[in-house]
Structure 1
Amino acid sequence: MATTLSSEYTSNDAANEENYCPSCYITHSNFQFCGYQLKVAQILGSNLGVSAYVWDAGIALCRYFEKRNIIFSGKKVLELGSGTGIVGILATLLGGDVTMTDRPKVLKQIEKNILVNVPAACRHRLQVCTLIWGENHVDFPTDYDFILGSDVVYSSVTYPALAETLRYLARQGTTIYLSSELRKRNGSVSFHEEHLPQYFNCQVVDRLDNKDITIYEMTKIDTSPGDCVPRNDRNQCVAEPDTGIKPAALPSPH
Structure 2
Amino acid sequence: MSHAEDNSLSFHKEEQQIEFSGHLLKITTFKGAYLGVSAFVWEPGLVLCRYFENEKINFTGKKMIELGSGTGIVGILAVLLGGDVTLTDRPCVLEQIEYNVSANIPLRCRHRSKVSALAWGTDQDTYPSDFDFILASDVVYSPTQFPDLLRTLLHLCNEKTTIYMCSNMVAREGAINFHQELLPELFNSELIHTYRSNCIYKMTKKQTLARGISF
2:204 aligned residue: 219
Paired amino acid for 1:220: K
Q: Quick one: distance in 2 between partners of 1:19 and 1:76? A: 36
| 1:46-87 alpha-carbon deviations (Å, 9 max, x no partner) | 100001111000000000000111110000010000000000
Cα pair 2:155 2:212 within 8 Å, conserved:
no
Structure 2 residue 48 is the aligned partner of structure 1 residue 73: no
Q: Give, as a single letter, the amino acid of the residue that structure 2 aligns with 1:176.
A: I
User: Hey, which of these two has a bigger chunk of strand by percent?
Assistant: 2
Higher helix proportion (structure 1 or 2): 2
- State the partner residue of 1:181: 168
Instruction: Identify if the C-alpha distance between structure 1 residues 195 and 128 changes in structure 2 by more than 3 Å, giving closer, same or farther.
Output: same
RMSD: 1.4
Aligned residues: 211
Residue segments in structure 1 that go unaligned for 5+ positions in a row: 1-16, 230-254
Partners in 1 of 2:161 and 2:55 — Cα distance?
A: 18
* Structure 1 runs, 4 residues or longer, greater than 6 Å off: none
1:116-175 deviation digits (Å, cap 9, x = unpaired): 000001111111110000001011000000000000001111111001110111111110
Q: Which residue of 2 aligns with 1:206?
A: 193
Q: In structure 2, give the amino acid aligned to 1:223.
A: L
In the other structure, the counterpart of 2:46 is: 59
The alignment's TM-score, normalised by the length of structure 1, stands at 0.80
Q: Distance in 1 between matches of 2:171 and 2:188?
A: 22
Q: Using CA pairs under 8 Å that are at least 6 residues apart, name the structure with larger relative contact order, 1 or 2.
A: 1
Distance of 2:77 and 2:153 partners within structure 1: 21
Pick closer, same or farther for the CA change 1:190–1:44 going to 2, 3 Å: same
How far the C-alpha of 1:227 sits from its partner, in A, is 1.1
What 5-or-longer segments of structure 2 have no aligned partner?
A: none
Q: Identity of aligned pairs, percent?
A: 49
Q: Is the 8 A contact 1:151 1:180 kept in 2?
A: yes
SS state at 1:152 partner: coil
Rounded Cα–Cα distance in structure 1 between residues aligned with 2:126 and 2:6 = 33
Question: Secondary structure at 1:71's aligned position in 2?
Answer: coil
Of residues 91, 103, 117, the one that matches 1:130 is: 117
Deviations 1:234-253 (A, max 9, x none): xxxxxxxxxxxxxxxxxxxx
